[in-house]
């Protein structure tokens, strides 16, 4: 039986034929106010037009591009107040739910508005919640998470002013922003070493998070893990010990598998403190019984170490630069884990994974900020999306991508590597990769450095783990530098990728 991978979100494997036609690329024209410092979000595609949110020096607007990526209209969001310090969005076929946070005097507001295909509000903005604070905030207080089917979403905030007890206020909504439940929960924390993973929302409306304890002088490894699940009709979290055994874990990544009513946890592990990465630790947690039904520790052999880093690398330390990026699930109970080799150097220091683990998680305790919400980094490391002028000169590296497929019981099925060697100075925006699913294969899009120029490269992976290396993409106009990791797939055969042209921010539509 052919392996069929189904990935919730943008990565969906279905066994179809490969389309050999070269992708077509269409660019937007540079706009004088859009620089490399412009904040942006690719909202998606509505009624054939592409919507992009932009923020230039506190001017908020939605640019609407037609099929040929010509600017059709720029809609100024004049309802947006001053001091907006965070935006979130959820895109549906007919609308975009746009959330934004701002402060007026001592009050932080979280508002939302529904945006139509015209880029204009479908109704007046609505305030969902307010919080009184005693300081001027530049960090978001509220976090918005949504279920995979987008039929439920949750707004929550965490009061961490008491380092031994966090207070979580949560609001569960349906897709029309009708309030379903509102709850106030307490979670006991160890003042010195407790952390949270990212929060997730299941299709059933359950809020799920892992709490883990770091130990050691620099808080650089995980000594214990608990699973926290809050059901829609419960007042607090159900807390269960995961019992990870003797494995020393670093960063946990979680995925809710709605098709199989379970939660997957994954982490690289070592056998000793600050030791070399030995393998991959996996947990299968059943949501129905709220218990662990399987865990396994895959020890990487020499074959997979050479595969991941090459024959010239030190096999013992081959995985010390790898970080887990994604967990993708299949309907048959199998799953795929994608990791990437990432590190940075400076004039004064070479950072290793333990340096990142010590301060890279924003859910650390104690907080002493009053309220806090997680800062998402697509690297799993504390790198800055707009880190153009760091005081210390940094060189960022993004190298091979390892893809491992597992069966329902956590048995290894296959592994393969997308080979690349990227680096850039002062910013990580042009390195790493973006994904495009075309049905029969998943494309990994990334820049390679050729003749002193970044060139967009395409390699794909099929459901059996076979890699296809495609020729350089056509219509790569000279002067455009792609930022593929910020790309967004907007339809079955289209992805929008931001790019730079002579320091101007532009966007490219790539048709597969």
- Residue 359 DSSP code: H
Residue 38: per-residue pLDDT: 94
The answer to whether residue 64 sits within a structural domain is no
The answer to whether residue 294 sits within a structural domain is no
Q: What sign does the CA torsion over 480, 481, 487, 489 have?
A: positive
Find out whether 208 and 200 touch, Cβ atoms under 8 Å: yes
Residue 130: per-residue pLDDT: 97
Q: Is 299 exposed, middle or buried (0-12, 13-18, 19+ CB in 10 A)?
A: exposed
Assess whether the previous peptide bond of 366 is cis (omega < 30° from 0).
yes
Cα–Cα dist 278/248, whole Å: 10
Tokens of 420: 């690349």
Cα–Cα dist 395/107, whole Å: 40
Place of tokens 């490399």: 36
Residue 355: per-residue pLDDT: 54
The answer to whether residue 461 sits within a structural domain is yes
Tokens of 157: 């905030």
Cα–Cα dist 347/366, whole Å: 31
Q: Is residue 368 helix, strand or coil? A: coil
The answer to whether residue 409 sits within a structural domain is no
Give me the average pLDDT of each 10-residue run along the chain (512 residues).
37 40 86 93 97 93 97 96 92 97 94 98 97 84 96 95 90 97 92 82 97 70 91 94 89 93 95 89 95 94 91 86 92 93 79 50 38 39 38 83 94 95 89 92 91 86 93 75 95 95 94 90
Q: Is 76 exposed, middle or buried (0-12, 13-18, 19+ CB in 10 A)?
A: exposed
Residue 369: per-residue pLDDT: 36
Cα–Cα dist 348/212, whole Å: 32
Residue 216: per-residue pLDDT: 58
C-alpha closest to that of 51 among 122, 124, 111, 118: 118
The answer to whether residue 101 sits within a structural domain is no
In the chain, the number of structural domains is: 1
The answer to whether residue 281 sits within a structural domain is no
Find out whether 400 and 419 touch, Cβ atoms under 8 Å: yes
Calculate the CA dihedral of residues 503, 509, 510, 511 and round it to 10 degrees: -170
Domain that holds residue 499: 1-37+430-512
Rounded to a whole number of angstroms, the distance between the first and last alpha carbons of the chain is 28
- What global pTM score does this model have? 0.87
The answer to whether residue 213 sits within a structural domain is no
Find out whether 160 and 372 touch, Cβ atoms under 8 Å: yes
With vertex at residue 376, the alpha carbon angle to CA 60 and CA 113, rounded to the nearest 5 degrees, is: 35
Find out whether 349 and 394 touch, Cβ atoms under 8 Å: no
Q: What are phi and psi of 304, to 5 degrees?
A: -75, -25
Cα–Cα dist 240/17, whole Å: 45
CA 358 to chain centre: 20
CA 338 to chain centre: 12
The answer to whether residue 462 sits within a structural domain is yes
């Amino acid at each position: 039986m052919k392996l069929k991978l189904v990935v919730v979100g943008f990565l969906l494997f279905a066994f179809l034929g490969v389309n050999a036609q070269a992708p077509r690329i269409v660019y937007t024209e540079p706009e004088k106010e859009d620089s490399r410092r412009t904040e942006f979000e690719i909202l998606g595609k509505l009624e054939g037009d592409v919507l992009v949110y932009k923020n230039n020096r506190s001017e908020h607007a939605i640019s609407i591009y037609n099929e040929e990526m010509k600017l059709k209209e720029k809609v100024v969001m004049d309802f947006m107040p001053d001091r907006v310090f965070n935006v979130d969005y959820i895109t549906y076929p007919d609308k975009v739910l746009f959330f934004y946070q701002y402060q007026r005097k001592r009050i932080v507001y979280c508002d939302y508005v529904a945006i139509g295909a015209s880029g204009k509000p479908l109704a007046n903005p609505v305030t969902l919640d307010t919080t009184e604070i005693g300081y001027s905030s530049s960090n978001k207080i509220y976090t918005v998470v949504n279920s995979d089917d987008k039929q439920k979403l949750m707004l929550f905030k965490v009061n961490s002013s008491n380092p031994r007890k966090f207070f979580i206020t949560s609001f569960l909504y349906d897709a029309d922003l009708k309030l379903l439940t509102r709850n106030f929960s307490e979670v006991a924390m160890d003042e010195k070493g407790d952390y949270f993973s990212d929060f997730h929302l299941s299709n059933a409306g359950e809020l799920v998070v892992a709490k883990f304890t770091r130990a050691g002088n620099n808080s650089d490894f995980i000594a214990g893990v608990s699973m926290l699940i809050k059901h829609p009709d419960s007042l607090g979290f159900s807390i269960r010990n995961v019992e990870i055994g003797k494995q020393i874990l670093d960063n946990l990544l979680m995925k809710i598998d709605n098709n199989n009513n379970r939660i997957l946890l994954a982490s690289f592990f070592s056998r000793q403190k600050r030791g070399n990465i030995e393998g991959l630790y996996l947990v299968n947690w059943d949501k129905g019984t709220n218990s662990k039904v399987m865990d396994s520790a895959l020890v990487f052999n020499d074959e997979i170490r050479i595969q991941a880093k090459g024959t010239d690398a030190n096999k013992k330390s081959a995985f010390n630069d790898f970080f887990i990026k994604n967990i993708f699930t299949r309907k048959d109970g199998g799953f795929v884990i994608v990791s990437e080799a990432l590190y940075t150097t400076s004039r004064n220091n070479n950072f290793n994974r333990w340096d990142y683990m010590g301060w890279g998680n924003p859910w650390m305790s104690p907080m002493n900020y009053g309220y806090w919400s997680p800062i998402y980094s697509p690297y799993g490391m504390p790198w800055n999306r707009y880190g153009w002028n760091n005081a210390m000169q940094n060189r960022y590296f993004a190298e091979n991508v390892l893809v491992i497929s597992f069966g329902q019981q956590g048995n290894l099925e296959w592994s393969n590597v997308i080979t690349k060697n990227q680096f850039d100075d002062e910013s990580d925006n042009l390195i790493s990769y973006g994904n495009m699913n075309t049905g029969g294969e998943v494309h990994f899009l990334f820049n390679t450095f050729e003749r002193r120029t970044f060139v967009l490269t395409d390699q794909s992976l099929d459901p059996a783990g076979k890699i296809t290396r495609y020729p350089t993409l056509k219509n790569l106009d000279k002067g455009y530098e792609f930022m593929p990791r910020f790309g967004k797939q907007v339809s079955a055969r289209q992805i929008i990728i931001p790019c730079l042209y002579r320091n101007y921010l532009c966007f490219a539509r790539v048709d597969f």
